[in-house]
Amino acid sequence: MLDKIRNALKKGLSTGGSEPMSPAAKQLAAAALLVEAARRDNEFTEGERDAIKRVVTEHFSLSGEEAADLLALAEERQKVPMGESIFTREVAQGFGQKEKEQVVEMLWEIALGDGHLHRLESTMIAILAEEVGVDAEQSAAAKERAAARLGH
């Protein structure tokens, strides 16, 4: 698993539209977008890191070690110049509509995870959702699914 993700990282995520993104590349793009979202407030806490690890473990059926490796690679990829916008574009161009909605649902799950949704988080998710091609209605439905999963 880790080798597949590392290969996706080495090759770059996009196939230039010639072929679909691999599942490993999609996982990396989604995880990196979650990291991007968590860092938008210029703070990336251990709580946010743990929430991302939990969400990718559940959504991608990964082991704890695989999720930790994926998160480490996503954080590494975020350090690349212009790394932040790359993943938004990769999700927008390389994911199907249902997959985009699942990524937005993961964003909501992380934001709602601490029991307090801050206005900045809500605004940021609305912007990211729009950037990846998920409209406000679909984003609201994703938010409801995330809240239900968390028992809110």
Q: What pTM, to 2 d.p., does this model score?
A: 0.82
With cut-offs at 50, 70 and 90, classify the pLDDT of residue 1: low
- Mean pLDDT (the chain, rounded): 85
Give the contacts of 16 (CB within 8 A, at least 6 positions apart).
none
21-44 pLDDT tens trace: 889 999 999 999 998 888 877 778
**pLDDT at residue 115 above 70?**
yes
For residue 131, what is the domain's CATH number?
1.10.3680.10
**Domain count for the chain:** 1
Q: What is the mean pLDDT of residues 51-73?
A: 94
The boundaries of the domain holding residue 122 are 2-14+22-150
Q: How confident is the model at residue 3 (pLDDT cuts 50, 70, 90)?
A: low
Sign of the alpha-carbon dihedral angle for 139, 145, 146, 152: positive
